[in-house]
């Protein structure tokens, strides 16, 4: 049962229009804001890391299910696979930020030009220096892209050959990827995001970023699956698949809150100035967003997806996914902006336009990725389990 996605002119038009919107916003911002591009770079970093996380979630989703020997997700597997094809784009954009660090285009990371009297940054110099930072960044990007490509390639090869060896091979690569990811997800979060507030540190940080990655990635998977279903593809995806995706969104939203709250509580309770320094500007200058963040990422999905029926209802699921997508965008905003823009940041045409541009790029790549192979990996050994998927709870 081969099924191919057709990247029609309509979809091309919409995604290119979104990209164009982003470009217009960037150009307009150049004329409107006279801040030497600091607003541009802050948004650039925020969107690149956010969309990179979503693309990376595609690989994580495939790998963890492979290792967990799970069968239900096989029939939607091509969606996260296509998402992972955005990694080269986000990786390239990250390299632009890296180049900016070498050639002083931006001041996103103040550790790059430390005050000579700053003893704390002096103590961190062994880790926070431009050459080592660049090496690490390149390792992360290269590693993720290589693993994503290998897993995708094996999965597509399997379409023409129902030998079990592909299944076994991909399990091995999934395990290798997870080990690589377990380390790099934390270190990349420290490097790219935590080091914006270079004096501050939190051991939880890497896992916190990971939990956000899984929520926003799942939300995007749900939206893409529902979109494909709406467009007449993937008829085999039934309410059980949606229910399971909804459970992920529900569960990991709570998990994200758990990590958010644990980090906040412990820092609040300890009340050590070095640590509270992170929350003070966020509570002073970003007070509204700070609480909105909790509302949209915890209270809303928690209440909206609580019942069994809501997880099986496509429109509720779609609505919660959109909110979660915006919610985690806000989370990234709160992560990046206070350290890069201080109190100057806002949310205007520039932020929205630029994010729409990223959405356009992401959709373009994902749609293009979906056309590259059948929408169902029919030789997967768990294919039939996923096609005939029903359960009593």
Partner 1 sequence: MYVSPVREPLIKGGKNYSKVTEDITRPILTKPGKLWFFGITISSIAAVIGLIAMFITVRDGIGRWGVNRTIGWGWGITNLVWWIGIGHAGTFISAILLLFRQKWRTSINRSAEAMTIFAVMCAGVFPLLHMGRLPLAYFIFPYPNTRGLWVNFNSPLLWDVFAISTYFLVSLLFWYTGLIPDIATMRDKIKNKFIKPIYSFLSFGWKGSARHWSRHESMSLILAGLAAPLVLSVHSIVSMDFATSVIPGWHTTIFPPYFVSGAIFSGFAMVLTLMIVARKAMNIEQYITVGHIESMNKIIIATGSIVGIAYITELFMAWYSGNIYERFAFYNRAFGPYWWAYWIMMTCNVITPQLFWFRKLRRNVVFTFVVSIFINIGMWFERFVIIVTSLHRDFLPSSWSMYKPTLIEVAIFTGTLGIFFTLFFLFIRIFPVVAMAEVKGILKTSGEKTKH
Q: Does 104 bind partner 1 (CB under 8 A)?
A: no
Q: Does 164 bind partner 1 (CB under 8 A)?
A: yes
- Provide, rounded to whole angstroms, the least separation between the CB of residue 271 and partner 1: 8
Q: Using alpha carbons only, give the angle 131, 47, 78 rounded to the nearest 5 degrees.
A: 100
Stretch of residues binding partner 1 (CB under 8 A), selected from 13-21, 63-71, 131-139, 355-363: 63-71
CB 310 within 8 A of CB 304: yes
Stretch of residues binding partner 1 (CB under 8 A), selected from 152-160, 220-228, 259-267, 326-334: 259-267
Stretch of residues binding partner 1 (CB under 8 A), selected from 181-189, 294-302, 326-334, 361-369: 181-189
Choose which of 3, 159, 378, 385 interacts with partner 1 (CB under 8 A): 385
Choose which of 95, 146, 157, 204 interacts with partner 1 (CB under 8 A): 204
- Residue 37 Rama label (left phi>0; alpha psi -120 to 50; beta): left
Distance CA 238, CA 358 (A): 30
Per-residue b or e along 172-186, where b marks 16 or more CB atoms closer than 10 Å to that residue's CB: ebbeebbebbeebbb
Distance CA 369, CA 391 (A): 31
Q: What is the size of the binding site for partner 1 (CB under 8 A)?
A: 47
Reference 86, options 54, 60, 63; nearest CA is: 54
Q: Does 117 bind partner 1 (CB under 8 A)?
A: no
- Provide, rounded to whole angstroms, the least separation between the CB of residue 167 and partner 1: 7
CB 249 within 8 A of CB 320: yes
Q: Which residues contact 2 (CB under 8 A, 6 or more apart)?
A: 374, 376, 378
Cβ proximity to partner 1, 278 vs 286, nearer residue: 278
Cβ proximity to partner 1, 140 vs 350, nearer residue: 140
Contact residues toward partner 1 (CB under 8 A) are 67, 69, 71, 119-121, 123-124, 127, 164, 167, 175, 179, 182-183, 186, 190, 201-207, 247, 254, 258-259, 262-263, 265-267, 269-272, 274, 381-382, 384-385, 388, 390-393
């Amino acid at each position: 049962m081969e099924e191919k996605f057709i990247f029609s002119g309509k979809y091309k038009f919409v995604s290119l229009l979104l990209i164009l919107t982003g470009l217009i916003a960037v150009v307009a911002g150049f004329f409107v804001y006279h801040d030497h591009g600091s607003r541009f770079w802050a948004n650039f970093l925020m969107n690149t890391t956010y969309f990179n996380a979503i693309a990376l979630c595609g690989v994580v989703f495939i790998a963890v299910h492979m290792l967990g020997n799970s069968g239900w997700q096989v029939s939607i597997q091509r969606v996260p696979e296509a998402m992972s094809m955005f990694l080269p784009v986000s990786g390239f954009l990250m390299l632009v930020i890296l180049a900016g660090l070498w050639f002083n285009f931006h001041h996103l990371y103040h550790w790059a030009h430390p005050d000579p009297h700053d003893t704390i940054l002096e103590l961190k110099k062994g880790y926070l220096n431009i050459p080592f930072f660049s090496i690490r960044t390149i390792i992360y990007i290269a590693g993720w892209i290589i693993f994503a490509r290998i897993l995708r390639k094996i999965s597509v090869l399997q379409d023409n050959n129902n030998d079990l060896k592909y299944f076994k091979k991909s399990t091995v690569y999934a395990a290798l990827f997870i080990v690589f990811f377990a380390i790099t997800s934390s270190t990349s979060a420290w490097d790219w995001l935590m080091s914006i507030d270079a004096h501050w540190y939190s051991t939880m940080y890497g896992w916190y970023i990971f939990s956000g990655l899984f929520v926003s990635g799942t939300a995007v998977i749900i939206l893409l699956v529902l979109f494909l279903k709406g467009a007449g593809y993937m008829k085999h995806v039934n309410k059980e698949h949606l229910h399971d995706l909804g459970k992920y969104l529900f569960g990991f939203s709570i998990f994200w809150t758990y990590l958010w709250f644990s980090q906040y509580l412990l820092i609040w309770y300890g009340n050590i100035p070095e640590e509270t320094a992170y929350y003070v500007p966020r509570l002073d200058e970003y007070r509204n967003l700070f609480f909105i963040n909790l509302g949209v990422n915890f209270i809303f999905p928690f209440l909206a997806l609580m019942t069994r029926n809501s997880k099986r209802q496509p429109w509720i699921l779609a609505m919660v996914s959109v909110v979660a997508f915006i919610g985690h965008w806000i989370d990234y905003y709160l992560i990046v902006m206070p350290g890069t823009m201080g109190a100057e940041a806002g949310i205007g045409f520039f932020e929205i336009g630029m994010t729409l541009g990223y959405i356009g790029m992401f959709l373009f790549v994902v749609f293009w990725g979906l056309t590259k192979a059948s929408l169902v990996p029919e030789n997967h050994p768990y294919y039939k389990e996923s096609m005939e998927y029903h359960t009593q709870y």
